[in-house]
C-alpha cells in the first residue's frame, strides 16, 4: 500500500495487531537511510527529518512506531494489546517495512529513544546495517531510567516533589512503574492526570537544555497521553532489554560496523556517560560531543547529516 510520487511515498504495512505507517523520501535507487524517532511514543511529526539527507543521493525512510503517530491503532485506544508493544515487536516492524520497500541494507539513524531502538535492531540484524548514526544517545538501561525519573530530582527538588506526589506509588513500586500503572488503567481520567504530571516533569528536566522553550512538552492531549503511556510502559520494563538483551554489554558485537555517536555536553536528561560507555567498547565507533547543546539541536542534526555522508563515502 502506498501513495505519492517518485520523491515521496507513504503507506502502511500490516503486522500482527497493527498497521505501521511509513514514508520514503528521495531517490528510490539511492542509499537507504532509516530514521527512528524518539519517545517511546513520539512520532515523525511534521517530517523535518526528511531534509537532513540529499534527496538526489539518499532514500530517507521514516516510520511511526507501533501505537503512535499515524500507525494504528493508537496505544491508548488498544490497551488490550499493550503488553505486545515491546522492543522486539518494534524490531520485527522495522523488518516488515524493510521487506515491504524492497531494501536489502540501510544506514540506520535514531534520536534519543530512537538510538536505543537503532542499536537493538542492529544487534539483531547486523547484516542489514550499512552503518549507524545516532543523536542524543540512550540505551534505556535501568540506570538511565533511574536517573531521568528519580536521581535527577536532586537538581529539581521542587518539581520532583510534585512528580512523586502525583505518582501515588504503592510500597516498593518505582515511580515509573506507578505512572505506567495509572496510564494503562481503566480509569482514563486518572490516566489523563498522570499524563499531565508526566508531561510537567519531562518539561522540567529538559529545562536546562540551551534549546529549551517554556511550556508543556505536548499541547495536544491525545499526543500527551500516547507519549506518556508508551514511555512509561517501556521504561517500567527497562526498554524490554533485559536477560542478556542489554545493549552496552553486547555493543562489541557491532565492531566493524561504522558508528557515529553524537551527544550534547549539556544534556542533563541523558548524560553523555552513556555515549562514552558505548564508544569505549565499540571499536568502530566515533564519539562526537557537541559542547553547546543539550538533548539534540541544530548542530547535532548537522553532525548527523555529515555522519551519514561519511558512512556512505566509506561503503
Active site residues: 112, 267, 295
Tell me which residue of 70, 37, 42 sits closest to 52, measured CA to CA: 37
C-alpha cell at 83: 503488553
**Side-chain-facing half-sphere of 279: CA atoms under 13 Å:** 16
Residue 281: count of CB within 10 angstroms of its CB: 15
Which residue's entry shows cell 499526543? 223
Phi-psi region of 265 (alpha: psi -120 to 50; beta: other; left: phi over 0): alpha
- Cell (9 digits) for 132: 549507524
Angle at 201 between CA 200 and CA 207, to 5 degrees: 90
HSE value, Cβ hemisphere, 13 Å, CA-based, for 143: 9
Amino acid at each position: 500500500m502506498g501513495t505519492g510520487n517518485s520523491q515521496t511515498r507513504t503507506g502502511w504495512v500490516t503486522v500482527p495487531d497493527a498497521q505501521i505507517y511509513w514514508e520514503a523520501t528521495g531517490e528510490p535507487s539511492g542509499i537507504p537511510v532509516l530514521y527512528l524517532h524518539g519517545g517511546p511514543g513520539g512520532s515523525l511529526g511534521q517530517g523535518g527529518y526528511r531534509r537532513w539527507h540529499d534527496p538526489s543521493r539518499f532514500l530517507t525512510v521514516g516510520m511511526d512506531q507501533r501505537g503512535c503517530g499515524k500507525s494504528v491503532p493508537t496505544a491508548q485506544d488498544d490497551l488490550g494489546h499493550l503488553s505486545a508493544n515491546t522492543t522486539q515487536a518494534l524490531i520485527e516492524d522495522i523488518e516488515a517495512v524493510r521487506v515491504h520497500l524492497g531494501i536489502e541494507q540501510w544506514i540506520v539513524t535514531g534520536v534519543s529513544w530512537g538510538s536505543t531502538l537503532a542499536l537493538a535492531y542492529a544487534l539483531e540484524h547486523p547484516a542489514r546495517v550499512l552503518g549507524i548514526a545516532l543523536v542524543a544517545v540512550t540505551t534505556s538501561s535501568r540506570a538511565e531510567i533511574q536517573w531521568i525519573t528519580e536521581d535527577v530530582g536532586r537538581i529539581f527538588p521542587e518539581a520532583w516533589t510534585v512528580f512523586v506526589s502525583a505518582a501515588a506509588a504503592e510500597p516498593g513500586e518505582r515511580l515509573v512503574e506507578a505512572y505506567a500503572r495509572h496510564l494503562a488503567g481503566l480509569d482514563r481520567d486518572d490516566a489523563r492526570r498522570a499524563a499531565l504530571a508526566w508531561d510537567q516533569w519531562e518539561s522540567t528536566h529538559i529545562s536546562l537544555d540551551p534549546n529549551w522553550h517554556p511550556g508543556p512538552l505536548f499541547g495536544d492531549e491525545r499526543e500527551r497521553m500516547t507519549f506518556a503511556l508508551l514511555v512509561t510502559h517501556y521504561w517500567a520494563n527497562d526498554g524490554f532489554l533485559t536477560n542478556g538483551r542489554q545493549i552496552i554489554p553486547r555493543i562489541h558485537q557491532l565492531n566493524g560496523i561504522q558508528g557515529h555517536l553524537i551527544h550534547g555536553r549539556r544534556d542533563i536528561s541523558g548524560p553523555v556517560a552513556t555515549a562514552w560507555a558505548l564508544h569505549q567498547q565499540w571499536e568502530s565507533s566515533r564519539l562526537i560531543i557537541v559542547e553547546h547543546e543539550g538533548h539534540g539541536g541544530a548542530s547535532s542534526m548537522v553532525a548527523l547529516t555529515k555522519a551519514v555522508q561519511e558512512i556512505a563515502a566509506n561503503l
